[in-house]
Structure 1
Amino acid sequence: MSDSSAHTVISAKPVVLPAPGRGTGLAVRVSAPASGDALPVVVFSHGYGWSMDGYAPLADYWAANGFVVVQPTHLDSRAIGVPPEDPRTPQIWRIRIEDLRRALDGLDQLAAAVPGLRGRVDHSRIAVAGHSWGAQSASTLLGARVLDADGGPGDDLSDPRVRAGVLLAVTGLGDQLSPFAAEHFPFMRPSFARMTTPALVVAGDSDDSHLSTRGPDWFTDAYTHSPGEKSLLTVFGGEHSLGGIVGYEVAETTDASPARVALIQQLTCAYLQSALGVDDTAWQAASAALAADPDAAGALRNKETVPESVSS
């Protein structure tokens, strides 16, 4: 994809959606191209502690290339500061998912808050995306489930409005959590066995998380253990920030790399264009270009069938 075709981006924040029972309204940032009609939508769930102000390298790129990007601020955001003893804290993982649904329900209200965007949004072409905890939140709308206390598959929180997903550094299966993660994040026990909606999983091959005892391949579980059409982009040398997708010059990025960020920008955008029917050739062209590049910053795998063995 060429940046020469990028659109001017307009945005509005905060657009606050009513959220009864949440304790505070849902603050959202909406970004969109200044021109174009029947615009597809990406609802993006941030990682732990972040907010609608993060992930500019992705949000701005997607919006400049024709997407309406919706970024809700979840209750775990440092901008809100919900303390650990708050009664909502144990349910924040579930409230995050409700936030994404509220954003989908409120698309018309969100569009109306951006000058010139009303009437230009295509409600039939919607994707979800997320990073880290946000990727787990987004994955539930694709069909992933959080295992209950007895190891059952938990509630079905999938959303038929969502046609595709992009899961960046999505947490893996819960059977190999570190003791710290098992104690503090009991909801981090996903099952991908019913995650049938098409998705692109992005994982860094140097993302060695303190949340798991396994190593970087833990972040590929959503690809390995889910059925249906899935793609896996492995980012060479990528750690948890995947080169810096959380923001420019962000201190917590331990693997800053413009090449990694550019790869993720281009591949995720091409995937979303094809998955949502904007450009059926974009993903094929981007995949071929990556395979032909001897200096590529990553590699792709694809599958279309049910894996030989899946978790419950």
Structure 2
Amino acid sequence: MKNKTMHKTLLALLLTTAITGCSDPELPLAKPLNAEASQMAQIPFLQQGEFAVVTHRDLVVPESQNQRELELSVFYPKQGQNHPLIFFSHGNWSSKDKYDNVINYWVSHGYVVIAPNHLDCCSQVTGIVNSLRYGNFGLIENRVKDFSYLIDHYSELEQLLPALKGKGDINHIALAGHSFGAFTAQQFGGAGTLNTDDKSYHFYSDPRVKAIVALSPPGPMFDEITAQSWQKLSTPTFNTTGTWDLDKYFFTDWQMHKMAFDSAQPSNNYVLVTQGADHYLGNLICRPEREAAPQKDALMMLNATSTAFLAAYLKQDEQAKTFLQNGRLKDLTAGFSTVEYR
């Protein structure tokens, strides 16, 4: 059965390569951010936080009996102790070090972030080779194993990096990710993955995870992520997307990225939608090498609202929660960004 999965994966990759000459989908009109300074000042967490950011990019967790070697980047505030923990999952073929524009913002507001490289990281070649080796389901499952191991063995990370000791609070955890990594994060909140070998959904929900931040999560993808994947997602979740968040291969309608919001359990479930925001915010996350204009206003909205969500669910900030739920962002930004809640 593994060979069958590998062949299907290879076929999908070949088909993707074959259609590279297809034209990009037509982008809808998108209004720019046009708001008064007095209105913008009413958006919480709109400015960089007070904490200085300390970064370590060379931490290696040794291979063990149950876990492969893991390369990590670790980010934490220079000041203070017992900050909530965020475990961050990169997008397919991307890496742990291409999301600084988001991660540093969270850390500046008082969070510790742990970001590993997954098996599909770092290049198209590596991603394809490991897709053929493990299959789609295998890559998805290994991503979950990476984070389960890191949460289980967090105290060992403190031993590997003594400066980290006492910085993070293991009792207040969020899972976050972008694209393929957003689905990884959602799995810890109850999203299911279809194993095409045994024809059943597999679930990895973890009650230790109190919040999910899913940046541009996928809609149905390959055979393993389906329209039914989010029906048991119940952990408080903040999804993001934009009206240019589409491509010619998988998601020709940006609203497919909203499927997790639309179909999950109505339990503290949010989605940020921003005018003209694409999958990479131009070149600000995941693909900094893209020849695309940076979408700085979209990043500002994502950073502010995701930080408000984290404050609401990891720091019990009721004012932040009220802001996310009352719909004021749409009025304050003249429709540039909206937060829906259900």
> Structure 2 length as normaliser, TM-score?
0.77
Match of 1:202 among 226, 233, 240: 240
Match of 2:97 among 27, 43, 53: 53
Deviation sequence 1:254-281 (CA, Å, 0-9, x none): 4521110011011101100111125232
Looking at both structures, which has the greater relative contact order when contacts are Cα pairs under 8 Å and sequence separation is at least 6?
2
Write the mapping of 1:270-285 to structure 2, written as runs, cut at 5 A: 270-285=308-323
Structure with the bigger percentage of helix: 2
The match for 2:295 is 257
Cα distance in 1 for partners of 2:79, 2:209 equals 24
Contact 1:145–1:153, Cα closer than 8 Å, also in 2: no
The alignment-based identity, stated in percent, is: 25
The count of aligned residue pairs is 292
Equivalent residue letter for 2:203: D
Cα distance in 2 for partners of 1:299, 1:280 equals 19
1:234 aligns with 2:279: no
Contact 1:259–1:297, Cα closer than 8 Å, also in 2: no
1:133 aligns with 2:185: no
- Taking structure 1 as reference, are residues 45 and 253 closer, same or farther at Cα in structure 2, changes over 3 Å only? farther
Equivalent residue letter for 2:134: T
Cα distance in 1 for partners of 2:120, 2:144 equals 12
- Residue aligned with 2:163, SS: coil
- Taking structure 1 as reference, are residues 102 and 292 closer, same or farther at Cα in structure 2, changes over 3 Å only? same
After TM superposition, give the deviation of residue 80 of structure 1 in Å: 9.9
- Residue aligned with 1:191, SS: coil
The match for 1:186 is 223
Unaligned runs of 5+ in 2: 1-44
- Greater shift, 75-84 or 228-237, is seen at 75-84
Contact 2:112–2:167, Cα closer than 8 Å, also in 1: no
- Greater shift, 2-11 or 281-290, is seen at 281-290
- Residue aligned with 1:96, SS: helix
The match for 1:42 is 86
The match for 2:220 is 173
Cα distance in 2 for partners of 1:107, 1:252 equals 35
After TM superposition, give the deviation of residue 24 of structure 1 in Å: 4.8
- Residue aligned with 2:87, SS: strand
Larger Rg: 2
> Structure 1 length as normaliser, TM-score?
0.84
Cα distance in 1 for partners of 2:273, 2:78 equals 33
Deviation sequence 1:35-64 (CA, Å, 0-9, x none): 122210111100011112110011111111
After TM superposition, give the deviation of residue 245 of structure 1 in Å: 4.1
Cα distance in 2 for partners of 1:23, 1:16 equals 12
Equivalent residue letter for 2:240: V
Cα distance in 2 for partners of 1:169, 1:19 equals 31
After TM superposition, give the deviation of residue 148 of structure 1 in Å: 3.0
- Taking structure 1 as reference, are residues 211 and 192 closer, same or farther at Cα in structure 2, changes over 3 Å only? farther
After TM superposition, give the deviation of residue 193 of structure 1 in Å: 0.6
Equivalent residue letter for 1:104: I
Cα distance in 1 for partners of 2:113, 2:184 equals 17
Contact 1:44–1:71, Cα closer than 8 Å, also in 2: yes
The match for 2:208 is 161
Q: What's the RMSD between the two structures over aligned residues?
A: 2.7
Cα distance in 1 for partners of 2:260, 2:272 equals 12
After TM superposition, give the deviation of residue 115 of structure 1 in Å: 5.1
Cα distance in 1 for partners of 2:102, 2:127 equals 29
Cα distance in 2 for partners of 1:296, 1:19 equals 49
After TM superposition, give the deviation of residue 89 of structure 1 in Å: 3.3
